Amino acid sequence: MAFTEDSPTVLEVAEENPGVLAFSHYSPMQYFANDSCISGQLADWGVMYEDILQKIYLGQYTNTNLADVDYLWLLQEGGIELGGLFTEKINTEFVGDLQGIDLTDPVLGTISVYDLVMTRYAQMSDVNVVFEPFTGPLYNQTSDLIVQDGVRMTTAELLTIDWFVEGVIGDASP
């Protein structure tokens, strides 16, 4: 399970239900569910606040341009980190399992899930962002082309996604 709440409740419920796995969100929530938390997205708010305050001080952010502020880029700057804990990108409880599952990537060939995650993380951390997960072609669950080949979704599009990509099981409708 993945979620966007700043609460460990989803992880606590996963922990209470054997076989249910989840991802941390913003805070190091693996502490609440070591047997269920695979990894997550962690935010270093200090890095973000420092950037925001510096730009306000320099006059780059004003009361007229804040709608255009984009903080979806902070991986290479250290504002966002992969992990359920700041000290582990992948929970050590799951590393062996993820190393034991191979898949075929059109560019990388046969690669373990663990190695693919680490490769993508390095590519997204690179100054040149070698891999951008929101660049087309992207298809929805019914195989409709939603994002054209080579086109990167805008911040507005990312913030209003109301569809699942091809292969995701579930229903995104309200």
- 8 A C-beta contact, residue 79 and residue 44: yes
CA 166 to chain centre: 17
The DSSP secondary-structure symbol of 86 reads T
How high is the pLDDT of residue 72? 67
Model confidence at 73, in pLDDT bands (50, 70, 90)?
Answer: low
Comparison of pLDDT for 111 and 6, the residue scoring more: 111
More confident residue, 111 or 170: 111
φ/ψ (deg, to 5) at 147: -125, 120
The yes-or-no verdict on residue 67 having pLDDT over 80 is no
Q: According to the model, what pLDDT value does residue 174 have?
A: 66
The model's pLDDT over 45-66, given as tens digits with 9 standing for 90+, comes to: 898 899 889 999 999 998 888 7
Cα separation, 39 vs 42, whole angstroms:
9
Predicted confidence at residue 35, as pLDDT, reads 96
**Among 72-76, 99-103, 114-118, which is the least confidently predicted range?**
72-76
How far is C-alpha 42 from the chain's CA centre?
A: 9
The more confidently predicted of residues 159 and 86 is 86
Give residue for tokens 């569910």: 33
Alpha-carbon separation of residue 122 from 86, 87, 132, 152 (angstroms): 16, 16, 11, 19
H or E, element range at 104: strand 102-105
Q: What is the mean pLDDT of the chain?
A: 90
What pLDDT does residue 63 have? 85
This prediction's pTM: 0.79
| DSSP letter string, 7-35 | SSHHHHHHHHSTT--EEEEES-GGGG-TT
Q: How far apart are CA 8 and CA 36, in angstroms?
A: 12
